[in-house]
């Protein structure tokens, strides 16, 4: 266990914050600090074909140790941390034998990680937790994933009696700014399927995510001296406000869960002359997703019609861009890859928590690039902030899941599995038609 703790801490103490305003990949040079270290470490534990490209993508191979043909599987995680909260000077605290009470993260600033607010903590009573010092994020998202993959590969190398096929590993930059899959060379990776180790609590297994679009709307106005403005002024800020009020009530992130989609206002800046509104649209269901986009266009049209005479041209300019799609479509035809992960968890006494992701992962983009890629827990909680923590036991379990998946892949007859998946796909299509 100390080995996992040491490895994890050696990663999180390297600042790898990504930057959405950068146009390069990786978005920040400092991501190479960890990427290069990972290359050295992969070589040191005995991985082969260890490569890093100019964009920071690290890949490595664990060669098959069986004679028969086995599908090549991959494990993927990202080494950048979110720009939402600082990842500089991370000073992790290790809490041994957690007693179920408040954890003081920072005494001076009175920052406390408390189970009365974060109820999930209670399920880890008696375990070893790694927390922040209250001033930074931790970076378990997703350095826990990297720790687990690295440790699992090391374990397999040290235990040649465990059968496995060829395994590919990839550590990516810039996942947190939505670009982790952009320059991922799926062909070079050469896996039949893969798993991102980027979920949260122990047991999580995910193969459904949102369909996602980003909306940018510009409202034009007319500024006139307020004393003489009657019938002349168009205040673009008020129009934007009206626009937001036209969106369906009760469909925001804070009012939805499970499979419920939403509209989310992410930015609003304006003056009388011009206001810019940014929204994101999310829905697991493709039909509903399309309807949501149509609604935004419809409201745009309505406003433009209303102000046509007064303004002379379109007052609302709306631009919608699809960001990613639900990976379910690409995973269901090879459903056995999810079954395999589920079986691995169950055989280790872990209860699989299969639920839709209310977001996207690199895996969903990769799935559409030809690499079906469900997501498995990495163990951490409260990502992207100072309350982030990870139980070491969950990381240990994730290591075991990786090892088990490798073993099951080498010992499963996939001809039957594939047939079953096709059957399931047909069934799904039938129920869809109904």
Residues that bind Zn ion (CB under 5 A): 141-142, 198
Is residue 236 packed enough to be buried (19+ CB in 10 Å), middle (13-18) or exposed (0-12)?
A: buried
Which ranges in 104-256 belong to alpha helices (H)?
140-158, 186-189, 236-246
Q: Which of 26, 81, 83 is nearest to 57 (CA)?
A: 26
- What stretch of H or E contains 115? none
* 77 vs 128, beta carbon nearer Zn ion: 77
- One of 15, 154, 174, 175 is an active-site residue; which one? 175
Kindly provide the b/e burial profile for residues 220-230, where b requires at least 16 CB atoms within 10 angstroms of the residue's own CB: bbbeeeeeeee
Annotation marks residue 80 as catalytic: yes
Closest approach, Cβ 78 to Zn ion, in A, equals: 6
* 141 vs 148, beta carbon nearer Zn ion: 141
Closest approach, Cβ 239 to Zn ion, in A, equals: 37
Using the structure block, give the residue that is written with the tokens 């190479």. Answer: 32
Does 384 carry a binding-site annotation?
A: yes
Does 319 carry a binding-site annotation?
A: no
Distances (CA, A) of 181 to 32, 72, 261, 282, 369: 17, 19, 24, 19, 9
Crossing angle for the helix pair 392-411 and 2-12, nearest 10 degrees? 100
Closest approach, Cβ 194 to Zn ion, in A, equals: 15
CA distance 59 to 188: 9
* 198 vs 204, beta carbon nearer Zn ion: 198
* 166 vs 358, beta carbon nearer Zn ion: 358
DSSP letter at 324 equals E
* 114 vs 323, beta carbon nearer Zn ion: 323
- One of 15, 17, 80, 283 is an active-site residue; which one? 80
DSSP letter at 222 equals B
Crossing angle for the helix pair 140-158 and 2-12, nearest 10 degrees? 140
* Phi, psi angle pair for 113, to nearest 5°: -95, 110
In this structure, are residues 260 and 251 in contact, taking their beta carbons and an 8 Å threshold?
Answer: yes
* 219 vs 387, beta carbon nearer Zn ion: 387
Kindly provide the b/e burial profile for residues 315-344, where b requires at least 16 CB atoms within 10 angstroms of the residue's own CB: bbebebeeebbbbbebbbebbbbbbbbbbb
60: which residues sit within 8 A by CB, 6+ positions away? 42, 47, 48, 49, 50, 51, 153, 168, 169
Closest approach, Cβ 142 to Zn ion, in A, equals: 4
Closest approach, Cβ 240 to Zn ion, in A, equals: 32
In this structure, are residues 278 and 268 in contact, taking their beta carbons and an 8 Å threshold?
Answer: yes
Closest approach, Cβ 275 to Zn ion, in A, equals: 33
Largest alpha-carbon pair distance within the chain? 86
* 141 vs 400, beta carbon nearer Zn ion: 141
Which ranges in 113-210 belong to alpha helices (H)?
140-158, 186-189
Kindly provide the b/e burial profile for residues 18-38, where b requires at least 16 CB atoms within 10 angstroms of the residue's own CB: bbeeeeebbbbebbbebbeeb
Binding site: which residues?
Answer: 78, 141, 176, 198, 384
Known binding residues for Zn(2+) are 78, 141, 176, 198, 384
As annotated, the active-site residues are: 80, 175
């Amino acid at each position: 266990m100390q080995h996992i703790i040491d490895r994890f801490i050696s990663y999180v103490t390297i600042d790898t914050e990504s930057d959405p305003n950068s146009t390069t990949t990786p978005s920040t040079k400092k991501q190479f600090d960890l990427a290069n270290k990972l290359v050295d470490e992969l070589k040191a534990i005995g991985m082969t074909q260890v490569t890093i490209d100019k964009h920071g993508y690290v890949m490595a191979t664990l060669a098959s140790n069986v004679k028969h043909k086995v599908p090549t599987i991959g494990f993927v995680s990202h080494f950048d941390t979110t720009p939402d909260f600082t990842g500089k000077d991370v000073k992790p605290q290790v809490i041994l034998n957690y007693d179920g009470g408040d954890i003081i993260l920072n005494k001076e600033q009175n920052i406390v990680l408390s189970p009365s607010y974060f109820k999930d903590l209670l399920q880890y009573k008696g375990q070893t937790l790694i927390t922040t010092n209250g001033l930074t994020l931790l970076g378990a998202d997703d350095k826990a994933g990297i720790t687990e993959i690295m440790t699992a590969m090391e374990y397999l190398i040290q235990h040649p009696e465990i059968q496995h096929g060829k395994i590919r590993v990839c550590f990516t930059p810039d996942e947190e700014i939505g670009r982790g899959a952009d320059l991922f060379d799926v062909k070079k990776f050469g896996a039949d399927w893969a798993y991102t180790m980027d979920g949260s609590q122990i047991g999580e297994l995910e193969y459904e995510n949102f369909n996602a679009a980003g909306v940018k709307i510009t409202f034009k106005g007319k500024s006139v001296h307020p004393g003489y403005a009657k019938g002349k002024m168009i205040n673009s800020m008020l129009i934007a406000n009206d626009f937001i009020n036209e969106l369906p009530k009760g469909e925001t992130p804070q009012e939805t869960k499970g499979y419920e989609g939403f509209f989310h206002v992410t930015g609003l800046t304006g003056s009388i002359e011009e206001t810019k509104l940014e929204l994101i649209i999310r829905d697991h269901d493709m039909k509903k997703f399309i309807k949501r986009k149509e609604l935004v266009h419809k409201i745009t049209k309505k406003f433009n019609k209303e102000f046509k005479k007064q303004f002379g041209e379109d007052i609302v300019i709306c631009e919608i861009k699809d960001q990613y799609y639900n990976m379910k479509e690409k995973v269901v035809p090879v459903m056995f890859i999810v079954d395999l992960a589920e079986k691995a968890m169950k055989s280790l006494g872990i209860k699989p928590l299969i639920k839709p992701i209310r977001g996207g992962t690199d895996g969903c983009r990769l799935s559409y690039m030809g690499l079906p890629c469900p997501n498995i827990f990495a163990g951490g909680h409260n990502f992207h902030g100072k309350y982030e923590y990870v139980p070491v036991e969950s990381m240990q379990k994730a290591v075991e899941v990786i090892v088990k998946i490798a073993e099951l892949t080498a010992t499963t007859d996939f001809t039957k599995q594939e047939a079953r998946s096709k059957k399931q796909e047909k069934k799904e299509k039938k129920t869809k038609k109904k």
